[in-house]
Structure 1
């Protein structure tokens, strides 16, 4: 059976992962590993870790959803 997941950024169409994206993905992995999977908990977790939104403000639902949309483009 072929391996379904071949490389970490295979869905990024050749764009390199930025340091910011690595930091955000690491923070999200840490939050999810704690058992937090609901939006309010994820946002609180990011703020508790001191990782701010790209505009430098604390995360809120609108900022988080907009950033996930942007990163998914």
Structure 2
């Protein structure tokens, strides 16, 4: 029996906007250099960008809130 799989884009309801594309690219670069914890990721985003929506520095709470909203 063939195992079910997730087509990478089947769960999304729209095409990502440019901010979401930049954020995803930056998160992938952070993972590629070995950053796998939230404090490290937030620090990386503050250094490399993109900036947090609203122009404020990234915080753990801001990151969690945004990921929850994007995951809806």
With normalisation by structure 1, the TM-score equals: 0.85
Please show how residues 4-23 of structure 1 align to structure 2 within 5 Å.
4-6=5-7, 8-13=8-13, 15-23=14-22
User: TM-score when scaled to structure 2?
Assistant: 0.87
CA shift at 1:2, angstroms? 6.6
Aligned partners of 1:43 and 1:64 also within 8 Å = yes
Structure 2 stretches of 5 or more lacking a match?
Answer: none
Partner of 1:25: 24
RMSD between aligned residues: 1.5
Matches within 5 A, 1:43-62: 43-62=42-61
Which of 1 and 2 has higher RCO (CA within 8 Å, sep 6+)?
2
Report runs of 4+ in structure 1 exceeding 4 Å deviation: none
Q: How many residues are treated as equivalent by the alignment?
A: 71
Q: Which runs of 5+ in 1 are unaligned?
A: none
Q: Distance in 2 between matches of 1:50 and 1:24?
A: 8
Cα drift, residue 3 of structure 1: 7.6
